[in-house]
Amino acid sequence: MKVSINPAGFEAEHLAALNRSFGDWGDGRRWRWCFARSSLSEPADIVVAEVNGAAIAGTGISYRRMITPDGGTLLAGILTAAWSLPVKSARGAYMHVISEAMRRIAERGGAVALGFMPQNKSSGLQLLRAGAMAATTAYVSTPAGWNDGLPGELKPCVLTSSLIEELFRRVNRRAQRGLRFTYPDIGEFGGQFLERPHPVEVLADAKGGYFILERLSQAMNLLAVLPADGDARAPGQHLIDAAQLAADQNSKLLSYASNEHAIAEAVAAGLVAKPGFITVTIANVQALSAAVSNALEVGAATSACLAMLRAFHVENGDRM
């Protein structure tokens, strides 16, 4: 088995493997957005396992900056669209790919590797058996026919330069006491949240909060909720507001939540929450030590990661 990084001319084969593995992963436009867009400050990597010249497993690695609860910064590698073909020769290939991905993340200066996946996905269970840590999340959606019966209050916004600057400001001030993604400049923020494979809309609520949604062919993908200063409403209410918008447009809402209170409130309102994981694997103890301003041994690094996981804020637009 040969495992390589960024093999030349692999785009078409990679895209075909993703669509074979996931059913309908996407087209070349989505592939280029995930792995080759120019707004990324840290270029993505692709790790591939081959047997006799045929690709059998792989993963992308998207690099993203994060801020710790104490204000330190670290580079994380996100395992993006990991796949393994259902063939006998692919047995064990996934973990060979992940091992090489960890080495590559450390080589690039990354402190940790992140994975986002449903709890019933076998790849996540393999990561946990290999020593990854995990926090519980949920994929939140609206069931068929859902409607809370209240008139929706979200209104579309014209995406001006001043509004983009305000969205950029708000996205970087989320969860100030938690572990969160940060976007170093407005170009990287725009590339992540606004310039996506499908049309993006920004809507405002009556309190001055903003909702960033991506309009998919059969659903609305809630990328981020950016409340107004002083908005004290329960976090789950924002999910419910977005769900009502989708219902009013005869569509389905897709979202992602790491806040247990928001998940519980959404479920109480009749939304569906599919259990998920954020997995974290330490790739480079030295880089993690620098982020927390403290020299760590492996055991202490694990404890530090677990503490940060308990305060991890992530939304759909951050993940991919």
C-alpha–C-alpha distance, residues 182 and 117, integer Å: 21
In this prediction, residue 128 carries a pLDDT of 87
Rg (CA), the chain: 20
In this prediction, residue 90 carries a pLDDT of 65
pLDDT tens, position by position, 101-149? 999 999 999 999 999 999 988 888 888 888 889 989 999 999 999 988 7
Q: Which H or E run contains 213?
A: strand 210-215
Q: Which tokens hold the place of 32?
A: 């280029």
Q: What is the mean pLDDT of the segment spanning 148-173?
A: 93
For each of the domains in the chain, give its residue range(s) and CATH number, in order of start: 2-136+277-314 (3.40.630.30), 141-275 (3.40.630.30)
Q: What is the pTM (predicted TM-score) of this model? A: 0.92
Whether residue 264 has pLDDT greater than 70: yes
Q: Which tokens hold the place of 83?
A: 């796949």
C-alpha–C-alpha distance, residues 255 and 266, integer Å: 11
Q: Which H or E run contains 303?
A: helix 298-309
* Average pLDDT score, the chain: 91
Q: What is the mean pLDDT of the segment spanning 292-301?
A: 73
Q: What is the mean pLDDT of the segment spanning 151-174?
A: 94
C-alpha–C-alpha distance, residues 212 and 245, integer Å: 12
Q: How confident is the model at residue 314 (pLDDT cuts 50, 70, 90)?
A: very high
Whether residue 297 has pLDDT greater than 80: no
Q: What is the mean pLDDT of the segment spanning 300-311?
A: 80
By percentage, how much of the chain surpasses pLDDT 70? Answer: 98
pLDDT tens, position by position, 66-114? 998 888 899 999 999 998 887 766 678 889 999 999 999 999 999 999 9
Cβ-count burial of 180 within 10 angstroms (0-12 exposed, 13-18 middle, 19+ buried)?
Answer: buried
Whether residue 49 has pLDDT greater than 70: yes
Q: Which residues of 29-51 are buried (b: 16+ CB within 10 A; e: fewer)?
A: ebbebbbebebbebebbbbbbbe
pLDDT tens, position by position, 176-189? 888 899 999 999 99
